Structure 1
Amino acid sequence: MYPTEESDPFCLSAASATRLLTDAPWRRFASMGDSLAAGTGDPSPGYANLGWPDRLAGTLRRVRPDLAYLNAAKIGATTAKTLANQVGPVLEFGPDLIHISCGANDIWRPDPDLAEIGWNLRRIFERAAETGAQLTTFTLGSAFVVPGFPDWHDRVRALNDITRELAATHAAVLVDMWSHPVNSRPNLLSADRVHFSTSGQAVMASELVKGLVDVLRAHPVTSDRAPE
């Protein structure tokens, strides 16, 4: 029997997530990249039909009702397209919390250029970091394998290594989905056998909340909200 959102051991309840982020200072949240950053996934029985970015934005909005939210991510976006088409609008938005996830569509090519992928990702992270915003990112999970690419997991590992390096360089919150236990769930993937269904989206949102809590604990902030 599959878990529901209420029984999922990897999911935080809405109340718990909100309580954990009570002192969150972020007022402008933006996500950019590909379908992972967009929160693409099929509905799962027992889970709210929401991608992880909308879930996180909802939690932050319960803490900060004036939260502004922009999801500039596009299904199918490559690192080059993200750099060319999304970075500008995201920076113009003026975010103080930025999520970056892309590269999967680059390694889907017959002969991916890892040097080019790495250069594009470095520029994306550098430009985002120049804003002073808190950055967040994911590694790709191991649950799906692309038919026709016997070296698929090697490609994913290479991309994940780049992502981990950039996260460490820019003090980004890194949610490492590669070896997360949720990868073993039979109902994790959507019908396309690529994207995490909303059960996986719920887990990713919860893991990001936990990562942001770690940031708050390391760098406590004084809330400027009026007393309730």
Structure 2
Amino acid sequence: MRYLFQGDSITDWYRGNYDDPHATGCGYPRILEAELTAQDGDCEVLNCGISGNRVVDLLARWKKDCLNLKPDVLTIFIGVNDVWHELGSQNGVAPALFEEVYRILLRETFTALPQTRIILMGTFVTHGTATDPEWETFYNEVKIRRDITRKLAEEFHLDFVDLQQVFDEAQEKRPAEHWTIDGVHPTAAGHWLIAREWKKTAAIS
């Protein structure tokens, strides 16, 4: 069984060598690699997350970093930079284009890898130094991308992980800074939350 995680810095999280998908980094893919390989020594966990990526960046490298790798289970976690890059440098991805490109990614995958299981992760934010200066805009725009991701999951009958709900519930027990460094990037505890929810969705004990 080959698992592939695709996304931005949250998935990347210090994996270092972008030419080596076996470099799983220090975040939730590494946590899952430890658990999955402990249970099944023949399984393979790959990470092709790249810091700063938007959905359009995924499209540019999709054949090389996804289709050619032929995963059995593909997880896509993208969306926050499509908002953040707009707020910071006016280089984000508008909702309509986000949906169009995401749909292309999925259709290309269905065509090339019809047996691959796909899990979509809904992006999230908490209060923090990166999000608070424009909190309402940041939160609302992220919600739009998350809702698009959910809609695509429903349309194509894919698994969906609502991480905003997960982090909202976690903040009822501990403050935002326990779960994220800056409102976007998870702490170690935040990465554990993501891994836990992925396991629930993937139905892996």
Find the structure with the greater CA-based Rg: 1
Taking structure 2 as the reference length, what is the TM-score of the superposition? 0.78
Structure 1 segment 1-228 matched on structure 2, within 5 A: 27-39=1-13, 50-108=26-84, 109-110=86-87, 112-130=93-111, 131=113, 132-144=115-127, 145-148=131-134, 150-180=136-166, 181-184=169-172, 185-186=174-175, 187-190=178-181, 192-213=182-203
Contact between 1:98 and 1:128, CA under 8 Å: does it hold in 2?
Answer: no
Residues 80 and 29 from structure 1, CA distance in 2 versus in 1: closer, same or farther, beyond 3 angstroms?
Answer: same
CA contact (8 A) 1:55 1:205 kept: yes
Decide whether aligned partners of structure 1 residues 183 and 120 sit closer, same or farther in structure 2, where only a CA change above 3 A counts.
farther
Identity %: 24
SS of 1:160's partner is helix
Q: Secondary structure at the match of 2:190?
A: helix
**Conserved 8 A contact 2:62-2:105:** no
Structural RMSD (CA):
2.3
1:43 corresponds in structure 2 to none
Write the deviation string for residues 54-101 of structure 1: whole angstroms up to 9, x where unpaired.
112222212221112221110101111111114432211110000101
Moved more, 150-159 or 84-93: 84-93
- Which structure carries more helix by proportion? 2
Letter in 2 for 1:136: I
Q: Where in structure 1 are there 5+ consecutive unaligned residues?
A: 1-26, 41-48, 217-228
**What is the TM-score when the length of structure 1 is the normalising length?**
0.71
Cα pair 2:2 2:44 within 8 Å, conserved:
yes
Between 1 and 2, higher relative CO (CA 8 Å, sep ≥ 6) is seen in 1
